[in-house]
Structure 1
Amino acid sequence: MGMAVGNGSSAGDEDDGGYRPMAEINITPMVDVMLVLLIIFMVAAPLMVAGVPLELPNTSAARVSQSKKAMVVSLDGTGALFIREEPVSQGNLVPRLRELRSAEGDTVVYVRADKKSNYGDVMDVLGLVGESGYGRVSLLSQPKPKGAQ
């Protein structure tokens, strides 16, 4: 498999002391390293995704801590606002959220809106929630039933 490199003289010449360089590259170790790297990236790449959808198993273990009641701001189809189940006006939303934030601490605010609600109204509510000091806001939706398009 080796290739003899010479100066064009016959093979019987011993000018170079019998040394002939091998002009062949052994790529087997490189292929091994590349396959190992490929496997590592194939395993690690899905784990680098931020929001991996999981189906968690059920357990009979008790919860470690009691969770507080979720902070939910709702906008119904008529434009009425609610904090949890309590009706609130748009002008009173920010002060009421600040009051709840000081009493309960910073938590995630879940914003729900009727699908008939205007997009601009939903954006106004999101802006008011952000103005009240909450840094983490999540939008809630209803999942589609299986088989529905």
Structure 2
Amino acid sequence: MAMGLSGGGGRRRGRGRAGAPMSEINVTPLVDVMLVLLIIFMVTAPLLKAAVPVELPDSRAKAMSEEAEQVTITIQTDGTVFLEKDALAPGELADRLSGIPDTPDGKKPLVTLRADKALDYGKVMEVMGELNRAGFNSISLVTGVSGGSGA
């Protein structure tokens, strides 16, 4: 026995009858939910990158765009230096910086420097000197967002 798929004969199903089940899936709510999830992940992804907790100083400077090839260096209040998530021993920073490969265009990657606001200025300058000696001349200083209007 063969089934007729042309829909020409017999009882009609679909929109022709009142109360008949709709045979189409409405994808609009699915797309809306997916776009909201995409926005949430886009906003939270940069916040998840920095795993070393530090108290950043506030600034009213405009946020910079994030580059794919960048190195994050963090200095905690006690002076501990982290390269990405790895704690470094004193004097180890220069060796680890020399092992970082250049970008495809032959330049050194961008360095984002995160330093605790209670840290001594001399320690920050010491790390920046090591970065400069290793050839990293593009350094971004990361700050927190200032909430006040300021004077």
| TM-score normalised by L of structure 1 | 0.50
Larger Rg: 1
